[in-house]
Amino acid sequence: MHSEILDAVHRALAEDIGSGDVTSQACVPADCRASGYFLARQSMVLAGVDLLAIIYEARGGVEELKLLHRDGDRLTEGDRIATVRGPARTLLECERVALNFLQRLSGVATLAHEFACLVEGTGCKMLDTRKTTPGLRRLEKAAAAAGGVTNHRMGLFDAILIKNNHIAAAGGVRQAMENSRAAGLPIEIEVRALDELHEALACGATHLLLDNLSPQQAAAWIHMVNGRATVELSGGIDLDNVRSYAETGADFVSSGAITHSAKAVDISFRLELL
pLDDT tens per residue across span 182-222: 898 889 999 999 999 999 999 999 999 999 999 999 999 99
Residue 125: partners with Cβ closer than 8 Å, 6 or more residues away: 119, 149, 150, 251, 252, 253
Give me the pLDDT at residue 138, please.
97
Q: How many domains does the chain have?
A: 2
- Same structural domain, 144 and 252: yes
Are both 89 and 190 inside the same structural domain? no
Please tell me whether residues 53 and 123 are part of one structural domain: no
- pTM for the model stands at 0.95
Q: Give which of 22, 10, 17 is closest to 51, Cα–Cα.
A: 10
Rounded to whole angstroms, the Cα distance separating 69 from 47 reads 10
The predicted pLDDT at position 42 comes to 98
User: Are residues 41 and 107 both part of a single domain?
Assistant: yes
The confidence score (pLDDT) of residue 133 equals 96
Those residues of the chain that have pLDDT short of 50 are: none
Alpha-carbon distance of 172 to 182, in angstroms, equals 17
Tell me the sheet residues that pair with 161. Answer: 188
Burial environment of residue 233 by CB neighbours within 10 A (0 to 12, 13 to 18, 19 or more): buried
Contact 14, 40 (CB under 8 A): no
Co-location of 242 and 126 in the same domain: yes
Instruction: Encode pLDDT of 30-40 as tens digits.
Output: 999 999 999 99
pLDDT at residue 234, rounded to an integer: 97
The predicted structure's pLDDT at residue 179: 94
pLDDT of residue 185: 87
Q: Which residues are catalytic?
A: 96, 131, 163, 190, 211
253 lies in which domain range? 119-260
Do 107 and 163 fall into the same domain?
no
